[in-house]
Structure 1
Amino acid sequence: MTKAAKADRLAELMARRGGDEGGAGLWTEALRRLRRSKMALIGAAIIAVFLLLAIVGPWVAPHGPTAQIWRGEVFPNQGRFVGPRSGNWLGLDHLGRDELSRMLIGARQTLLVGVVSMLIGLVVGALVGAVSGAAATLGGAAGKRVDTVVMRITDMMLALPSLLLAVSIAAVMGQSLTTVMIAVGVVQIPIFARLLRGSMLGQGGRDYVLAAKSLGVRRRRIVLTQILPNSVSPVIVQATLSLATAIIEAAALSYLGLGNPDPAVPEWGVMLSQAQRFFDNAPMMSVYPALGIVITALGFTLLGEAMREALDPRLRG
């Protein structure tokens, strides 16, 4: 076995030792703690229901989401709102469309916007954070300059309120669902970047890194094969929490009229925006999509917080 291979093996063993408890891997023990957490179970149950509805919604929806079958029955034509009944479990909207069908179809649109937005922020932010963290960890004048420039740009993005930044981006790019995804994703970039950079800097002083350095392993190899893989746990947790934020912010942009230009396409934020005009006469039209957004965001938040506690070494014992 070569000297470099021995050093990598030693660093790997020390990394496992630093992340293990009673011989169990970090993620194995975290999963064990999650199974015992009521908060995690509730959050996972909410997310599972949301995912199920988003997947099977188009097939189980009793009516077409754009079909105005009962338009003659609803206000403003008749001056009344048709609430829950046998053929329409959640009633009708202002155009005589089945509210339950639109909620089921809208779940998929909401999930799509949230996941794509989170992935944009995660991928770009992790790349930026990895470059900055590697530059700071490797040291040298050039590395410090790169880290300083990247972090100052990140700080400027963080200085702006997230929703204001998202609205500004969406307003410049124009009204579309893609615009909402990009706008919300860009807002998430500095969060992931700073988190991964900070985690990498924290790992840079661990014993396994010092051991690898003492054996002559190149710093670049240590960063790529040891420090970076051991720094991703907080980023994964943040991705779960960011899904909740992305869903809320995407709904907010749709509510402000910056989402899908076709109002017939059901999406919870658009449905909430359309229902605000009729809140006095038909409050439940606003309650249904609002509850969907709040409960879904709550599910991701509960699971994310439970994962954070499960992966926190200070709470493991």
Structure 2
Amino acid sequence: MSIVTSKADKIDRLAELSGNVGTSAGASLWRETFNRLRTSKMAIIGAAIVVVFVIVSIVGPLLAPYDPTAQTWRGDVLPNQGKFVGPREGNWFGLDHLGRDMFSRMLEGTRQTLLVGVVATLIGLVVGFAIGALSGAAATLGGRRGQQLDTSIMRVTDILLALPSLLLAVSVAAVLGQSLTTVMIAVGVVQIPVFARLLRGSMLSQGGAEYVLAAKSLGVRRRRIVVTQILPNSLSPVIVQTTLSLATAIIEAAALSYLGLGNPDPSIPEWGAMLTQAQRFFSNEPLMAVYPAVGIIVVALGFTLLGEALREALDPKLRG
């Protein structure tokens, strides 16, 4: 019960902190947020990391000096005979145990890692948004049926939140089978209850705002108030969570690939899978594992810094 309360309280706290954001004029709010982000060192560093990561994922594979899946180098088949070769001229990161250029595989792996993180986050966002909007609307509109529906949805959400995220992702991946699509779905399922509860909490926070009371006094229908006023003004914490979830999705996707639940084709470079392949060489050749590990850490740090900076910029208690 304490696990459920802890997770749920953190999510509700984020919704509460951003709950009054929508009461200001939209244009001025986002202009002020952008101005605060421009002066935030944390936001600048996070944005720089994210931009570099995105650019590398787009153009990196085109700039790769060698075929990342080819087990040859300059015409020689397996020149390292099953051993890792460290950095040298022509191979900045060296060759892996199958003679594949590590630098080329890191560039191609950037695209695979970004694809998994973005798709998984979109799955969690879309499904969680729909569930959270339904629950929040039911709770806001009131009525016996609405309250029952909201309670039922939130109890299921609390059950999912009670499960450790990695354990839930592993369970889903084990049921669906080994594939890259499975990793995306499994990580996306973990994100669904977070987005659902966050949006629902934000909508409840907005339900008591002055503009909602004013609309009710003017005779505007409750459903119209929910759709046109409460829901749009409840999106700020969801936007923040989306940025933070990208970092979590990348780490969890790498963990699933490391556990052997990712792409069954080992020739396709993906940072989590590359960690798995480097495991048996770690004691003698740690660099083979250091490259993908550092990539995962830096990218996750970039999204986390950007998300935290965005949260602080949107926090009404920190805004002047």
Fold similarity call, TM over 0.5 = yes
Distance in 2 (CA, whole Å) between partners of 1:203 and 1:26 is: 16
Alignment pair present for 1:72 and 2:75: no
Q: Which amino acid in the other structure matches residue 118 of structure 1?
A: T
Residue among 154, 159, 168 paired with 2:157 = 154
Report if aligned partners of 2:183, 2:256 keep a CA contact under 8 Å in 1. yes
Show the counterpart of 1:26: 29
Q: Deviations over 1:210-242 (max 9, x none)?
A: 000001000000000000000000000000000
Percent identical among aligned pairs is 74
Rg: which structure is higher? 1
Which runs of 5 or more structure 1 residues have no equivalent in the other structure?
Answer: 1-14
Show the counterpart of 1:287: 290
Where does 1:306-317 land on structure 2 (aligned, <5 Å)?
306-317=309-320
4+ residue segments displaced more than 3 Å: none
Q: How far 1:148 moved relative to its partner?
A: 0.4
Provide the aligned length of Structure 1 versus Structure 2. Answer: 298
Show the counterpart of 2:17: none
Alignment pair present for 1:231 and 2:234: yes
Report if aligned partners of 1:188, 1:242 keep a CA contact under 8 Å in 2. yes
> TM-score, length-normalised on structure 2?
0.91
The alignment partner of 2:317 has SS state of helix
Alignment pair present for 1:85 and 2:85: no
Distance in 1 (CA, whole Å) between partners of 2:166 and 2:117 is: 15
Residue among 241, 245, 248 paired with 2:248 = 245
Show the counterpart of 1:266: 269
Distance in 2 (CA, whole Å) between partners of 1:16 and 1:215 is: 23
Report if aligned partners of 2:37, 2:313 keep a CA contact under 8 Å in 1. yes
Report if aligned partners of 2:50, 2:302 keep a CA contact under 8 Å in 1. yes
Report if aligned partners of 2:23, 2:233 keep a CA contact under 8 Å in 1. no
Show the counterpart of 1:11: none
Q: Which amino acid in the other structure matches residue 94 of structure 1?
A: H
Distance in 1 (CA, whole Å) between partners of 2:143 and 2:33 is: 36
The alpha-carbon distance between structure 1 residues 184 and 24, as it changes in their structure 2 partners (threshold 3 A), is: closer
Where does 1:73-152 land on structure 2 (aligned, <5 Å)?
73-76=79-82, 80-152=83-155
Report if aligned partners of 2:173, 2:261 keep a CA contact under 8 Å in 1. yes
Report if aligned partners of 2:21, 2:233 keep a CA contact under 8 Å in 1. no
Distance in 1 (CA, whole Å) between partners of 2:79 and 2:298 is: 31
Report if aligned partners of 1:81, 1:281 keep a CA contact under 8 Å in 2. no
Show the counterpart of 2:258: 255
Q: Which amino acid in the other structure matches residue 187 of structure 2?
A: V
Show the counterpart of 2:64: 61
Report if aligned partners of 1:65, 1:97 keep a CA contact under 8 Å in 2. yes
The alignment partner of 2:291 has SS state of helix
Q: Which amino acid in the other structure matches residue 78 of structure 2?
A: G
Q: How far 1:161 moved relative to its partner?
A: 0.3
The alignment partner of 1:313 has SS state of coil
